[in-house]
Amino acid sequence: MSELRVPPHNLEAEQSMLGAILLDREILINLAVSVQPQHFYKEAHRHIFDCMIHLYMQNHPVDLVTVSNRLSQQGKLADCGGLSYLTSLLDATPVISHAPVYAKIVHDKYILRQLIAAGSEISASAFAATGEPTSLLDNAEQRIFRLAQMQESRDFVPLVSILHEVYAQLNASKLPGGNINGVPSGYYQLDRLTHGFQKGDLIILAARPSVGKTALSLNFAVHAAVKAKIPVAFFSLEMPKEQLTLRMLCAESVVRTESVRNGTLGDRDWDKIAQGIHDLSEAKIFIDDTPSLSVMEMRSKARRLKMEQNIGLIVVDYLQLLRYPQRSENRQQEVAEITRTLKALARELEVPLISLAQLSRAAEQRSDKRPNLADLRESGEIEQAADLVMFLYREDYQNQQSPTADGAGPIEVILGKHRNGPVGQVSLVFRKDYGRFENAAMHDE
């Protein structure tokens, strides 16, 4: 017969922590940041600690008399061992100043017990085999991710250590007429409508092929990472990471991509590329170019990157290329499930998630070729789940006009849906030869 295994715990640490609080009420305020009543292994200790917190919050003394009186009023004193047990806690405290160490032991043992419980549930689910393996794996990762978040500890930070980061974010979020409270796009008119890309929002950037949606999404990512110092995850299902990086570099350096490809760079171009490499090398942009990536795999990678790098923005290029693990003959249903998963991921990680999407050909059959919500391909769920839907419209592309000498042309960013703000349109300039979008005001000056 196998030996019965006792869950991890340390009663001495629990007793020493409680005894320290009885001896010095003021240390409770620091310990309560990391320890909660449910973290204690012994039920009596949970009741005692909960009682201490209640007394402290009511601005009452926390000592042997008040705690025993409160427990007696609740009818829990006997269950907690009576006055004699409370008295023994005083003797169980070696050094009051070591209370934070005792608290950490209590918290760590709780995490271990939760890890065992999660492992048991994961194992039971796997043995039962009642769902798809990918779904079971996703649920398992969610459990572990929540435990990892519980381990995060934030404390006071000296002002001087964060001033540069705050200044960078303020500088990136400057707007004529006011600042923004989300991830800045880098485009004044757009940020004025959205106040930046908001945490938990699913943002759809849709257009027909070759209009510029990948280029604009790269501009968004670079501005967030370089100017606002926000770590970015970029999932590229269509383009390899080397090609993606080249496009970012040309846009940031303002160098023609064709000059790079055919080897006709001048001395001035090399200087600009060197500066672009310097700027991008300091940016936290993480690229995954796995082809045929499933939405569950993407979710797993994003969770891990959130824990490791605290990403503040996710970009997916593009939605219709993501796979859903449970194959269906109904592609619309698959796209609907993928869209809901992306929205859930944005909320779970508390980051804006920008997903590119293809449009149907319907707009090309109309006299007014500006896209609208009905043109989203394969699923009405995209419109339903999205918090913000943006369309790109280039009149020169739709009307097959010849580009200007430098490949620059006006482009409209149409806000077709904005759950928490106004809809409208924004005028930008797309310098296609550079893969670079610019504020229209720069070209009006």
User: Would you call 132 a catalytic residue per the annotation?
Assistant: no
Closest CA to 284 of 145, 168, 201, 154: 168
* 73-82 own/partner pairs: CB under 8 Å, 24+ apart: 74/47, 76/47, 76/51, 79/43, 79/44, 79/47, 80/44, 80/47, 80/48, 81/44
Tokens of 140: 């398992």
Burial class (CB in 10 A: 0-12, 13-18, 19+), 135: middle
From the list 238, 348, 383, 438, the catalytic residue is 238
The residues assigned a catalytic role are 238
